[in-house]
Chains A and B, each alone.
Chain A
């Protein structure tokens, strides 16, 4: 069970907003996390606590393919991102590195910045502790659950390769 404060943003939060390209001369997630969300919320990295939740509108993570984006969100301590929709490369990257994403427009519509949420990733249940409202996110496709269950794409690939060898 995840529990944390919501940091809420609008539609089309792009990967340059999540981690500006000027910091991509390093790839260490902890170094990147210091600059997470910097260009749209300059104090984010200083105030976010372990377990907190990013919430956004449509097309979260649009723009570049940089895996640094989900990596730095995860390293900043964010437990999951809830949005109306996700850009496709960001979605793949997050699944691959083990950052939980939930698509739930109803939750986004009925949650304010600063609310506290409880999220059960296995079921997609989202409870807004500030308002008492409950929401249900769309489940992941079966195929992706396999990757998540393995602990990310690298683990999944290792398993596939060793199965092939046997």
Chain B
């Protein structure tokens, strides 16, 4: 069995499962946020139960429009807060909250071998830990909050093997953008992407979170990694709970096996308006930018900020550019502060924000006007994603976003 099949089998009390089978799956963690939580709460109420199935396995993270950007958002956040208070489930208030997909693994709430569902499409991020994690809608989440179970169809698995040694500025973001550019935004529709190969063995956990995070941008249900020693150490240091590490069978059946040599991969830039619209940064041409956003559930971790700061150290952001840095969690923020990264950003002329999804989805903290262009380390560049439907978003890794902030046009850090 593939990694996904093993985890799904273990959570549906079966010896073996195969693609296409329908399962009733036990859930280890049920997640929602300030946008999807309110609908989930309304639907949960309709089921007619007073209590969630297990408050220790339900978490709500108000991260999208927080700190509350307007009265309507404040009402939604309030509804989530009150529900969590009443149910006793996990909840993180502003001041402690981070972006859900940076926070949950930091807090040890999601572990290798577990099944996690979340009313947020980027729930697939936890696949980096060797967990089966997938996004669903609020009604599915309401059902899982009530029963602790959800139906799933076993997806086929596509295996991606990354070989070779990457160039200096090439990161997990580039590995995944390259794959999405190759297979397209529906190239893994209804499937699992399973990542491996020696370049993945050598990739940091942060890089793996970035890759798993964007599996959804290829239409995938999940993006999974084997939990190696690095992962086990990371997870063990954050929880007392025990967990199981699954390793895919050598004879596992894959729908497709795709091989990449990372020494062929340059830093990638996804042009508007699809994450699959990728080009190597050297072929980006002369694209002037108005804004650079470094953060998000894709690239808001400490390694991302270190890379961005190393590019910016001692240099100044172009005077026509707004550069917005958003640490993904309070822990990331504090660590960046200790390492002097925040000072580097501020001396370079960046704005540093409290953790929030904010501009990534056009919520707040950096909305684009018509005709404006942004480079962002986020995950989507759809029409209107960061503001005006007449604005444009270009996706890249943190090094390219930092270099572009300095020059005012899309730039490789190689060329500074």
Chain A residues with a Cβ under 8 A of chain B:
12, 14, 16-17, 20-22, 24-27, 38-40, 58-59, 62-68, 70-71, 85, 87-89, 92-93, 96-97, 141, 143, 152-154, 157-158, 160-161
Q: Is B135 an interface residue (CB 8 A)?
A: yes
17 contacts between A and B (CB under 8 A): A16-B384, A16-B385, A21-B385, A22-B367, A27-B38, A38-B389, A39-B389, A59-B219, A65-B121, A65-B137, A71-B39, A88-B219, A92-B136, A93-B139, A96-B137, A153-B139, A154-B139
Q: Is B311 an interface residue (CB 8 A)?
A: no
Who on chain B is nearest to A98 by CB? B139
* B69 and A67 contact, CB distance less than 8 A: no
* A157 and B189 contact, CB distance less than 8 A: no
Q: Is B9 an interface residue (CB 8 A)?
A: no
* B69 and A88 contact, CB distance less than 8 A: no
Known: A64-B121, A93-B140, A97-B139; 10 extra A-B contacts, CB below 8 A, are: A16-B382, A16-B385, A17-B384, A25-B69, A62-B185, A88-B221, A89-B135, A89-B137, A96-B140, A143-B22
Of the listed residues B39, B137, B389, the one surrounded by the most CB atoms of chain A closer than 10 A to its CB is B137
- Distance between A41 CB and nearest chain B CB, rounded to angstroms: 11
* A22 and B139 contact, CB distance less than 8 A: no
* A65 and B219 contact, CB distance less than 8 A: no
Contacting residues of chain B (198-227) with chain A, CB-CB under 8 angstroms: 216, 219, 221
In the bound complex, how far is the Cα of B221 from the Cα of A88, in angstroms? 7
In the bound complex, how far is the Cα of B367 from the Cα of A26, in angstroms? 19
- Interface size of B by Cβ–Cβ distance < 8 Å? 54
Closest 8 CB pairs of A and B: A93-B137, A25-B72, A67-B137, A59-B186, A21-B361, A96-B139, A39-B389, A39-B384
B residues less than 8 Å from A89 (CB atoms): 121, 135-137, 216
In the bound complex, how far is the Cα of B399 from the Cα of A76, in angstroms? 43
* A20 and B121 contact, CB distance less than 8 A: no
Q: Is B138 an interface residue (CB 8 A)?
A: yes
B residues less than 8 Å from A38 (CB atoms): 389
Of the candidates A12, A70, A161, which one forms a contact with B147 in the assembled complex, judged by CB atoms under 8 Å apart? A161
Of the candidates B36, B65, B151, B384, which one forms a contact with A67 in the assembled complex, judged by CB atoms under 8 Å apart? B36
Of the candidates B39, B151, B189, which one forms a contact with A59 in the assembled complex, judged by CB atoms under 8 Å apart? B189
- Distance between B341 CB and nearest chain A CB, rounded to angstroms: 29
A residues less than 8 Å from B143 (CB atoms): 153-154, 157
B residues less than 8 Å from A21 (CB atoms): 35, 64, 361-363, 385
In the bound complex, how far is the Cα of B387 from the Cα of A16, in angstroms? 11
* A20 and B384 contact, CB distance less than 8 A: yes
- Distance between B51 CB and nearest chain A CB, rounded to angstroms: 13
In the bound complex, how far is the Cα of B300 from the Cα of A7, in angstroms? 39
Contacting residues of chain B (354-399) with chain A, CB-CB under 8 angstroms: 361-363, 367, 380, 382-385, 387, 389
In the bound complex, how far is the Cα of B48 from the Cα of A70, in angstroms? 24
* B383 and A40 contact, CB distance less than 8 A: yes
